[in-house]
Structure 1
Amino acid sequence: MRSVFLVPLVLAAASPVHAEDTRNDADQAAVAILESARSYVPAKATERKAPSYPRNELTSGREGWVEVGYCIDENGAPQNVQVLDSTGNSRFERAAISSVGNWKFEPALVGGKPSWQSNNKTLITFAIDASQRGARREVARKYKKLGELIDDNNLAEADAFFLDLIENERLNLYELAMIWSQRVRYQAKRGDFLKLDLALHRATASDGQWTEEENYQRLLEIRVKVEIQLGNYAKALSAYRALKRVLGEDAPQVTALQPAIDSVRSYLDGNDVLESAAEIRAKGGCYGCDDSYWFIPARRTIAFREIDGALTSIDVRCTHKRYESAVSEEVEWRIPDSWGSCSIEVHGKPGTTFKILALPDA
């Protein structure tokens, strides 16, 4: 297996190399940028205008949100703006992309020099009345019917009913969170943990702003357990921290999860290879999304195995650097600590399943 140490100008992915030689070169390059990274100053927004509300959606009363990822170049301009997820409205997605693309920043500084900042994301919400926290009677009735279909194991009918609600009903943000919380129950009944993970993300996307507090807490509890089940340990820790912020460290729900979280931290600090399952999702109602899978690496060294289908490329977006590469089961990727926090997008054919390995640091 080849090892690729991801550092500037040492992107050895084209031909086999001796791991020892690559590591020596990479260590020198990593040390060279580590000192400057210690004086890192993050980019600062100077102009962030809110997006224009699409006229048709405003008139119809439709609300929604769009999660946007972007880089900030050395001139303080957004680059590589893309939709990461959304409530499934192409007009909202276009408005969000246009808005973020016109934001202005003071660029990040590394060693006193302007630098790219590549791991940024934001949630753009489209709300007609931000104070509204409730569902209309008609939607509440449909929400109840959807729950009854799930309870009665009429899953095919529940799926069709859900899709009709999401695609055709003019929902506000509160109603969207309600409907997606039912989707969580639906995917749990099906036992599809990857799709359950997506439903949980959408049901909790606004950090509980549009969800009843008790329901939000319950969803966070479920999310911690699901992320652990999938081997998404970085996301499990993030969900656990969110639960602690909401309930406090001494809450029974928090303390009940502490043994599992301690085990996760032990896994991450250990020498075992950690494995998580993944699948390239289709757009799934998110019109501007790529056919891809996003994850936060649990460790700084990763590899891909058991690819069933076709993976085309990875896009590693870190605070200080960005790196793109073809995907191969014959390569390990080592991400230097000096690159900062990272998220990784894997592109491929929808339906492709694969395993992500988090390898112990050498």
Structure 2
Amino acid sequence: MRRIIILIASVILASSTYAQTTKPTSLKIAEAIDPIPVKRVHPEYPPESARIGQQGWVKVSFVVNQKGRVVDPVVLDSSGGRGFEREAIKALKKWRYEPAMENGQPVESCANKVQLDFVLAEGRSGATKKGLVKLKEIAGALDQDRFDIAATLLTDFESNIGNGYEQSFYHFYAAKIAASRKDTAAQITHLQGAIATYYDFQRHIRKFYVGDAGFSLGATAFALLVDEGRWAEAINLYKSLSFVSGSDERTEIKQLASYVEKIDNFEGMVPVKLSLDERAVVLHQLIRSQFAFTSLEGQIDGLEIRCQKRRETYTFALDSQWNIPESWGACSVLLKGQPGTKVTLVEMQDS
């Protein structure tokens, strides 16, 4: 028998901690205000990366607590090396916010994400001569469907990647190799990596001109995300691409709009296959407020639900169903455990 876990928003105590009373009461939001940035510290450039002209970016999920401080940051993805991850986390912990407010009281805001870009002011805009030679070798192997050779060449190229231009081609070719191996998760990761390298979504601009490639890769990534049940990510990607200058004239964006409408109207269950990365975490953004886990291969040590206005930790279980109150806002599920662990999450139609 499946155990139903109804997550009820309890009253906020004066000490700003959440407590579960003997009779939990539903909290109706009269007023909710998102956290407002007060101080943002730029990350230091990793010396080892600066010396070789290496550039990169880091995507992070984080919580803003009741005091306006950034806590529990989790790296979701990055490009360019672990040095960028280290400096991104150090900088984020120095950021300060006016905390989110709910009914006049400060509350945690737990659905925050940011991408920090590391770009050298005087860095080169194209590939090095050595990089171009490597890229041509990889492209030649891929044109002949020699995917194993291409993968070996790409691994060698990865250790010498410099700027965003070279990173974009690395991810583009890695996505092709993943597709040949039917590794959809890796294909999506590298497509998203290429897109993140092309675009600065926070400023709605292209970082450098890539012709039609960026929008085409975006459309491919969107289709794969939909097929994999990662619908909230697909919709967010569509919205991000829609804000980029010139997107309103792109056929790809117009086609994606019709798929977004179908997603909004779909009433069936949405199964999602998740895999913990080498950082031993995976974050899934929910599109529904009810979900359950139906399979597990490996080990899950922690389950955390991060929402706009609340977060809670639970024991992972296959025989349970979680029902999230609407008042918590948009939510994501964060799983921690052994790298490579695979789990199936099923999102269910809201009752």
Q: Sort the TM-score into its range (normalised by shorter chain).
A: 0.7 to 0.9
Q: For this pair of structures, how many residues does the alignment match? A: 333
TM value normalised by structure 2: 0.87
Q: Does 1:196 align with 2:165?
A: no
- Determine the C-alpha separation between the residues in 1 that align with 2:301 and 2:211: 41
2:242 partner letter: K
Per the TM alignment, residue 88 of structure 1 is displaced from its structure 2 partner at its CA by 4.8
What residue is the counterpart of 2:311 in the other structure? 322
Work out whether 1:276 is the aligned partner of 2:267: no
Q: How does 1:48-127 map to 2 (within 5 A)?
A: 48-127=40-119
Give the 3-state SS of the residue equivalent to 1:350 in structure 2: coil
Aligned counterparts of 2:113 and 2:283: Cα–Cα separation in 1: 12
Judged with a 3 Å threshold, the aligned counterparts in structure 2 of structure 1 residues 257 and 84 are, in CA distance, closer, same or farther, namely: closer
Look up the match of 1:150: 142
Equivalent residues of 1:221, 1:243 under 8 A apart:
no
Q: CA deviation at 1:250?
A: 6.0
Deviations along 1:223-259, whole A, 9 cap, x unmatched?
1111111121112222223343345456432344455
1:358 matched to 2:319? The reply is no
AA partner of residue 328 (structure 1): A
User: Structure 1 residue 150: deviation in Å?
Assistant: 2.1
In structure 2, the partner of 1:6 is: 7
CA-CA distance at 1:201 after TM superposition: 1.7
Alpha-carbon displacement from aligned partner over 1:204-232 (angstroms, at most 9, x marks no partner): 12435246141101110101111111121
Q: What do residues 130-158 of structure 1 show as CA deviations (whole Å, max 9, x unaligned)?
A: 78532223212212221222222222222
1:105-184 equivalences in 2 (<5 Å): 105-129=97-121, 132-166=124-158, 168-184=159-175
More helix by proportion, 1 or 2?
Answer: 1
Q: Distance in 1 between matches of 2:112 and 2:84?
A: 19
TM-score normalised by length of structure 1: 0.85
Write the letter of the residue equivalent to 1:177: S
Partner of 1:348: 337
Q: Work out the CA distance in 1 between the residues paired with 2:227 and 2:55.
A: 33
Q: Distance in 2 between matches of 1:7 and 1:300?
A: 12
CA shift in 2, pair 1:123/1:217, >3 Å = same
Q: Report the secondary structure of 1:205's partner residue.
A: helix
Q: For the residues of structure 2 that align with 1:124 and 1:131, how far apart are their CA atoms?
A: 17
Structure 1: 4+ residue segments shifted above 6 A: none
Question: Within 2, Cα distance between the matches of 1:210 and 1:291?
Answer: 33
Q: Does 1:35 align with 2:29?
A: yes
Deviations 1:281-303 (A, max 9, x none): 2x2xxxxxx31222111211011
Shift in alpha-carbon separation, 1:87–1:146, aligned structure 2, 3 A: same
Q: Does 1:252 align with 2:248?
A: no
What SS is found at the alignment partner of 1:128?
coil
DSSP 3-state at the match of 2:29: helix
Give, in whole Å, the separation in 2 of the partners of 1:262 and 1:70. 30
Q: Tell me if the contact between 2:125 and 2:165 (Cα under 8 Å) persists in the aligned partners.
A: yes
Q: Which runs of 5+ in 1 are unaligned?
A: 11-24, 284-289
For residue 21 of structure 1, what is the aligned residue in structure 2?
A: none
| CA-CA distance at 1:320 after TM superposition | 0.6
Q: Distance in 2 between matches of 1:325 and 1:172?
A: 41
Q: Does 1:220 align with 2:209?
A: no
Matched with 1:19 is none
Code of the aligned partner of 1:201: Q
Structure 1 residues 189 and 338, CA gap change in structure 2 (3 angstroms): same
Flag the 1:339–1:129 CA change in 2: closer, same or farther, 3 A. Answer: same
Indicate the residue corresponding to 1:335 in structure 2: 324
- Show the counterpart of 2:18: none
Does the Cα contact within 8 Å between 2:111 and 2:307 map onto a contact in 1? Answer: yes
The within-5 A match list for 1:299-318 is 299-318=288-307
Unaligned stretches of 5+ residues in structure 2:
12-22, 200-205
In 2: Cα distance, 1:42 partner to 1:144 partner:
48
Q: Distance in 2 between matches of 1:131 and 1:295?
A: 35
Q: CA deviation at 1:312?
A: 2.5
Distance 1:279 1:210, change over 3 A: farther
